[in-house]
A and B are shown apart, each in its own frame.
Chain A
């Protein structure tokens, strides 16, 4: 009997522990709960039916979709039932929360490229499944990508998904504009927002993947710094958001120069106002950030005109994912996400005296992480950066990068982005023997569950940042 079968629609079976999030525009509370019969942790989404201004049918739709869809990258639900004034939807516990949570709490200026690759590949896999069932997700965004404590990536937010099958016929295009869509507008494709007769299809999700990639990498969603109406205008007029790093940053300067003399404005060259957010970042982050060409290309590919956008299946073959090859995200993600601590069994024992509705933050300090230095391969820098981290806990990532800036090149220390760059080169160069390439992932996979020290050792033995390979 699987766990799914054991969860019965009985409110008495669950012990609510803490509030770990909000959903459905704050009309729903996500609670951490213990399933009393078999003592496992899970999450319960409680939708309050009297307070919420939600369209009830959309709540039902969401539950139905959760139960109909079965895929490892789509959040499944154990069961749903009505308890008092609430609908309870029992879901597996996704220990790391959503990618939005990760951005808020730990990766303020963006998640490293390699981590994003792992996340997006799973997202695309989930989308591929949905698209093959002629379902459009319509709200792919960081807050709808959940990561479990052991690194599984799931898509949630099924409330807005819709079928391309209308009256038993698969439609090539649909025209429905989702109701209560305000919080997903930034991710929506231009063709969806335009609401005209050309309609949209599953390719709309691919655009959202592109925007999500920018969101994850830049730390902020494109167009967030402008009114919705202006965002609409920018999208329809063809402004394409991009990853913001030091090379693109050079381009921005040149475009600005072209516009300030007033000549290029008429020729349709628009200053991308949505990138102003980039200038607000600390200079250290801006200079050192350098995404691989394949990542830039991936985003560009996703954000093309609908007719040229590849399918989710085709996108999974994109060069960008070559850096992670076939390695499973299951062991890699928890390592890559360090020092973020997921909510899991070990973080809330021994007594469950956490008040209901208590903030998640109270859980986090309980978790003792040993080492946070996953990106530094040389031992010489780790101490310094650890010190820095103590001094500036919030700006942890920046200070680490600053640190490495002053280190001569001979040092093995690499910033996350630099390491992926080298990685990219390594893959492109023909002299890397396939044998060694195959060997490394295996060892790292084995090492991963045991913890970081093991991993480090393996990386030290072979030169360069091999462990990420």
Chain B
């Protein structure tokens, strides 16, 4: 499957195709530069040149995102036809990140045991020793809430949409906490959205599992994103309540959803932590007073005064039904803003897979005959058909 793109048996027929063989050389490393050079009608042929790549029972699709650890690609489970995403981790890269390998191991261990609709599902873990790669097969998501915010006017969600997402975030968080897991890195960037508008909490790389015999949720370390850290971490406290960290981060997330801003900002991490530690922030006046009240409680300086998830649900803003008077902020279109529906990117690869499969059995030194074999129906059946037709005609005449 990993073979050189030139040995596709498509050299013969069309000039357009051979041109694309050349392009495929470059396309293999996913540079999009060459897309702009071709006419739109030729683009149709471009996907045909994608080489199918398989790992385990999965067929690889296009890249969904890229992180410091490696790429995230779309893939398709060939047994169930379920659309999935795969996190490809390169062991080389992981070693360069502080705690990289340990975090991944912990994340896998955690995700394996989790099953909730608002927490990303891990379906499969595959290793490729040869390439020193690890594949984490997870639920397919259309995109992250951060991408949606970046794409949205004013970088914020309409109130009703923010309300829906926050509700789902709480549900996922409640589940994690019930499993004695402190996420420690709740932020829009770690919330994904599935095709059915379900929010999925992802990236449990820095999460902490509390000892089941422990009576409190005391944590000592945190590696989460600075802008979402509570004052107790900004102050450098030795010990702090883990669950209340997540509550604070959810508060910052909700603040961000509804205002498009962050309650605390800073040019660098020291300035930022200084601001957080001061506990001074403003809530924009245009926000509904009930929402402002909820935010103030979520961003309570003293962790003990922050509400629990149960209490959050009691707030009038949470209980209210918000009118859908504004358009939903959609996920930004995939594929260089061309595909608003986020179509399966695996299909062109499938085309390659099934086309190559059928040519494989033909003799490779004689492309033309193999192609003929592939396209023409098996000759005995043709003969049969013709015979059948003839006999049919003759019976008609008889009658």
Residues of chain A having any CB pair with chain B under 8 Å: 166, 174-177, 181-182, 185, 193-199, 227-230, 232-233, 236-237, 246, 249-250, 252-253, 256, 259-260, 262, 265-266, 271, 276, 279, 283, 286-287, 405, 408-409
Contact = CB atoms under 8 A, between A and B. Distances in A.
Interface residues of B, number: 45
Nearest to B385: A253
Nearest to B339: A196
B376 A199 contact: no
Given A197-B331, A229-B353, A230-B350, A409 B399 contact: yes
Interface in B373-399: 375-378, 381-382, 384-389, 391-392, 395, 399
A286 B344 contact: no
A236 B341 CA distance: 14
Nearest to B343: A196
A408 B397 CA distance: 11
Nearest to A192: B81
A229 B197 CA distance: 26
Interface string B5-16: 000000001100
A175 B195 contact: yes
Contact of B80 (A181, A198, A227): A181
B341 A197 contact: yes
B360 to A, nearest CB: 14
A232 B195 contact: no
Contacts of B322: none
B140 interface: yes
A400 to B, nearest CB: 16
A177 B343 CA distance: 14
B344 A196 contact: yes
Contacts of A271: 375, 377
B78 interface: yes
B80 A182 contact: yes
Contacts of B372: 260
A250 B389 contact: yes
Contacts of B395: 405
Interface in B332-358: 340-344, 347, 350-351, 353-354
Given A195-B344, A279-B381, A408-B399, A229 B59 contact: yes
Nearest to B44: A268
A194 B341 CA distance: 10
Contacts of B197: 175
B342 A246 contact: no
Given A259-B376, A271-B375, A227 B385 contact: no
Given A227-B354, A232-B350, 12 more contacts: A176-B196, A177-B83, A181-B80, A185-B80, A196-B344, A228-B78, A228-B79, A229-B78, A252-B385, A279-B381, A283-B384, A287-B391
A230 B382 CA distance: 23
10 contacts: A175-B196, A196-B195, A196-B344, A229-B81, A260-B375, A260-B377, A262-B13, A279-B377, A283-B388, A283-B391
B340 A197 contact: yes
Contacts of B392: 246, 287
Nearest to A182: B80
B38 interface: no
A252 to B, nearest CB: 7
Nearest to A195: B83
Scoring A176, A181, A182, A195 by chain B CB atoms within 10 A of each residue's CB, the highest score goes to A195
B82 interface: yes
A236 B347 CA distance: 9
B142 A197 contact: yes
Contacts of B386: 253
B76 interface: yes
A279 B385 CA distance: 8
Contacts of B385: 249, 252-253, 279
B196 A174 contact: yes
B194 interface: yes
Contact of B375 (A198, A230, A259): A259
A182 B388 contact: no
Interface string B132-150: 0000000010100000000
Interface in B296-351: 331, 340-344, 347, 350-351
10 nearest A-B pairs in the assembled complex, by CB-CB distance = A175-B196, A175-B195, A279-B381, A260-B376, A195-B83, A197-B341, A409-B399, A196-B341, A230-B354, A233-B350
Nearest to A408: B399
Contacts of B353: 229
Contacts of B391: 283, 287
Nearest to B376: A260
B376 A232 contact: no
Contacts of B196: 166, 174-176, 199
A256 B81 contact: no
B354 A233 contact: yes
Contacts of B343: 194, 196
Interface in B59-103: 59, 76, 78-83
Nearest to A166: B196
B195 A199 contact: yes
A198 B392 CA distance: 46
B340 A182 contact: no
A405 B387 CA distance: 16
Contacts of B378: 276, 279
B342 to A, nearest CB: 5
Contacts of A262: 13, 371, 375
A177 B82 CA distance: 7
Contact of B376 (A227, A256, A287): A256
A229 B82 contact: no
B339 to A, nearest CB: 8
Contact of A253 (B78, B371, B382): B382
B375 A265 contact: yes
Nearest to B380: A279
